[in-house]
Structure 1
Amino acid sequence: MIDINEVIETNKMIEQENLDVRTITLGISLLDCADNNLEVLNKKIYNKITTVAKDLVTTGKAIEREFGIPIVNKRISVTPIALVGSSACKSPEDYVTIAKTLDEAAKVVGVNFIGGYSALVSKGMTAGDRHLIQSIPEALSVTERVCSSVNVGSTKTGIDMDAVKLLGEIILKTAEYTKERDSIGCAKLVVFCNAPDDNPFMAGAFHGVTEGDAVINVGVSGPGVVKNALKRVKGADFETLCETVKTTAFKITRVGQLVAKEASKRLNIPFGIIDLSLAPTPAVGDSIAEIFEEMGLEQAGAPGTTAALALLNDNVKKGGVMASSYVGGLSGAFIPVSEDRGMIEAVQSGALTLEKLEAMTCVCSVGLDMIAIPGDTKATTISGIIADEMAIGMINQKTTAVRLIPVIGKKVGDMVEFGGLLGYAPVMPVNRFSCDDFINRGGRIPAPIHSFKN
């Protein structure tokens, strides 16, 4: 039972510490929409999404009003479109029609993003996979709400380096297609290793083939709550620090669990998972970097940052799993540069570099996220950065991801405005030494020895 003190404490977290439910994401299977006829396929997709998700936004708003809990986003994820469209789509242009259908359906039901314009190619690419990947630049330039992801590696299968090479070219092309808007198309494209089937966060959400027909997944957030809790134990030892993070994560997750169960009941759609990830925003006091400072670091990037992130990530998980039986998605701490005021300031002061961020991704929930780089960065360099991050995920049996934004016409030190939750970012330098010959080898990096567990 929730007592009155818990209610008062939750209200304080919402009003003063930026606690919110970051997203209710409705996962919808489109497997039953598959058809050889492209026009029929698009019609089936549109009808299913607009039918299943018709009450999602109104239900979310009703829960907000009745419980006083902010629900920032209402979103949809769908079955990877490379699978759904493979029979009907014979060219990249065919896939673009599906992107437009997804965008229109998302607009009609009122969600801010729809994820699942995706391909799963960790061991190789089918013709349909390749067509979808090649269609991404146009698809993201002609739509507003569509998000795309490509899983190019896993601990079990290794890394498809042909796909990694292709994605470097695709990211640059996407940047060029949306250069009039600071290459924002790249902010809606994620490259994964070990992508989870039930992630509610964009831009990487898709509805995995292991999922049911429809499911409600909820992502909670509360960096400000954690920061304020740590203020109260300033100077305490690490055991106290860990206990404080665990206790706070438990309380944050309870809020998400309440919203998830209520949304599931009202929509008559099964509850899937709570994603425990601490997702920052550009707002003052809602920053992962500020948590590091509260732990005792001068700024994010200082010596000790990776250890602090490991502590935070692990104890968020430990606290969260006690509050919900179904925890999934990514769950931990996000470190996006553009979406975190403290991270932006750390980059601007020189405390945080791309190389330090890569080291931090060994222990965080995701990877190199929302990082603006110079628009003249070579495709092979982008592929090399992707390959490094995929290797971290593959070897460490964890999800890693890359969301790089080569901003056409911008150079190191320039600022880029994306708006809303996507925030703003300084353009960061990248290593200029060549990896061309390595990336151009082609083929696949095999799975590590510890993948062989049968």
Structure 2
Amino acid sequence: MVDLREVIETNQMVSSENLDVRTITMGISLLDCMTPDLDDLCENIYAKITENAKDLVSVGDEIALEIGIPVINKRVSVTPAAIVGAPACHSPEDFVEVASALERASQKIGVNFLGGFSALVQKGMTASDRLLIDSIPQALAKTEHICSSISLGSTKTGIDMDAVKIMGEKVVETAQATKDRDSIGCAKLVVFCNPTDDNPFMAGAFHGVTEGDKVINVGVSGPGVVRTAVSKVRGESFETLCETIKKTAFKITRVGQLVAKEASKRLDTPFGIVDLSLAPTPAVGDSIADIIHEMGMEYCGAPGTTAALAILNDQVKKGGIMASSYVGGLSGAFIPVTEDASMAEAASIGALTLEKLEAMTCVCSVGLDMIAIPGDTPASTISGIIADEMAIGMVNQKTTAVRVIPVIGKKAGDSIELGGLLGNAKIMPVNPYGCADFVNRGGRIPAPVHSFKN
């Protein structure tokens, strides 16, 4: 059992090491909202979200106040909109109306983000999927809180390269649609291989169709706590290093378990999972790159960085799974460049490159995340970057993702400021050589041979 005594020892972590519960996310099924009438669909969506999540923000604030652990974000994820909107949406503009209904609901309940403007096209696209994808630039430009994710591949099905090509184009269109705000729309758009149904983190959260009517998923954090612990064992053996990270992850995850159980009880909603991912913020000292530095790298990106990240990810999982009855989501270490001050610094001085980040994604939780690139990057190049990352996920049977921001009107070395948790960074250079002939082949990359296990 988790009790408040276990939280007492975390006081130091909260006060000086940036420990927090990054998010309480309520997943809500919208399958019973489906109807052929668009107006009725939008009304059903608004009503169900606002009724089920009306107390989410206040309960999160109450729990944070009572136990003394900051709960930074309260979020909602919903059934992929391409499924829910299929009977009623017959144009991209119809899906923009759905996004507007989701936005109104998010504003009413006061959450900071709502995820699930999504489609699952890893093996092919329905007409509804394609309409939603075509609506993304306009939908993200017109809304503030809505996040979109598209699944393009999986270990079981391979990679839909037609969809990969289209999404490279949609990333550019979304950047253009929000160019007056440093192309911020792309910060709310992510593509996946092997996405999870219970991820509480944005922009990739959606409520999977195998989930119940509603559920509470909690994402914990604490890079600053791990960094402090690792700094105390400098020069010690890898065994000592691993044990230190594992024990620290256990303590962090216990906090998440406590918050998840309490939120579940007060919101009368089943507890789903604790995602024990180490999610950084732009705050000084709350950085994955700082942990890697304490492990022995001069800067994140130096030789040895991938091995260090592999250690970190593995030990976080080993510690976390002992601390919670249900661990899920992504669980590990995120490496978003703009959201991690020290990661952004490493990128700005050239210690961390796009290619090194790609190598690191082989062993971290997700993938190429929150990376600002030049605004004139061709759509085919973005599709190539996506294809590389999807291949890593497919072959390695892990979740990978791409969230890149081609900042219109800016070039490598320029700076962007997205604000809040989205952070800031300098724009990273992209390999200038083309891949259009590869991307334009069309069709599907087959699943790897080791996927056939049934």
Q: How does 1:25-424 map to 2 (within 5 A)?
A: 25-424=25-424
Question: Does the C-alpha gap of structure 1 residues 138 and 10 become closer, same or farther in structure 2, counting only changes over 3 Å?
Answer: same
Q: Is the 8 A contact 2:222 2:280 kept in 1?
A: yes
1:163 aligned partner, one-letter code: A
Task: Between 71-80 and 340-349, report the one with greater CA deviation.
Answer: 340-349
Q: CA deviation at 1:8?
A: 3.7
Other structure's SS at 2:376 match: coil
Q: CA deviation at 1:9?
A: 2.2
Other structure's SS at 2:325 match: coil
**TM-score (norm. length: structure 2):** 0.99
Other structure's SS at 2:269 match: coil
2:235 aligned partner, one-letter code: G
Q: CA deviation at 1:337?
A: 0.3
Q: CA deviation at 1:3?
A: 8.2
Q: CA deviation at 1:35?
A: 0.4
* Structure 1 counterpart of 2:433: 433
Q: How does 1:13-32 map to 2 (within 5 A)?
A: 13-32=13-32
Q: Is the 8 A contact 2:412 2:429 kept in 1?
A: yes
Q: CA deviation at 1:2?
A: 6.5
2:173 aligned partner, one-letter code: K
1:124 aligned partner, one-letter code: G
Task: Between 4-13 and 46-55, report the one with greater CA deviation.
Answer: 4-13
Q: CA deviation at 1:226?
A: 0.2
Other structure's SS at 1:317 match: helix
What is the alpha-carbon distance in structure 1 between the residues aligned to residue 156 and residue 2 of structure 2?
A: 42
Structure 1 residues 82-111: Cα deviation after superposition (integer angstroms, max 9, x where no partner): 000011000100000000000000000000
Question: Does the C-alpha gap of structure 1 residues 265 and 4 become closer, same or farther in structure 2, counting only changes over 3 Å?
Answer: closer
Q: CA deviation at 1:7?
A: 3.8
What is the alpha-carbon distance in structure 2 between the residues aligned to residue 77 and residue 3 of structure 1?
A: 28
Q: Tell me, yes or no, if structure 1 residue 9 matches structure 2 residue 9.
A: yes
Q: CA deviation at 1:234?
A: 1.2
What is the alpha-carbon distance in structure 2 between the residues aligned to residue 413 and residue 349 of structure 1?
A: 10
Other structure's SS at 2:174 match: helix
Q: CA deviation at 1:4?
A: 8.5
Structure 1 residues 4-26: Cα deviation after superposition (integer angstroms, max 9, x where no partner): 87444211100110000000000
Q: Is the 8 A contact 2:2 2:258 kept in 1?
A: no
Q: CA deviation at 1:233?
A: 1.1
**TM-score (norm. length: structure 1):** 0.99
Structure 1 residues 239-281: Cα deviation after superposition (integer angstroms, max 9, x where no partner): 0000000000000000000000000000110000000100000
Ranges in structure 2 where 5+ consecutive residues have no aligned partner: none
Structure 1 residues 321-344: Cα deviation after superposition (integer angstroms, max 9, x where no partner): 000020000000000000001101
2:37 aligned partner, one-letter code: N
What is the alpha-carbon distance in structure 1 between the residues aligned to residue 38 and residue 402 of structure 2?
A: 31
What is the alpha-carbon distance in structure 1 between the residues aligned to residue 324 and residue 114 of structure 2?
A: 26
Other structure's SS at 2:169 match: helix
What is the alpha-carbon distance in structure 1 between the residues aligned to residue 423 and residue 241 of structure 2?
A: 30
Other structure's SS at 2:151 match: strand
What is the alpha-carbon distance in structure 1 between the residues aligned to residue 5 and residue 67 of structure 2?
A: 16
- The runs of at least 4 aligned residues of structure 1 exceeding 3 Å deviation read 1-8
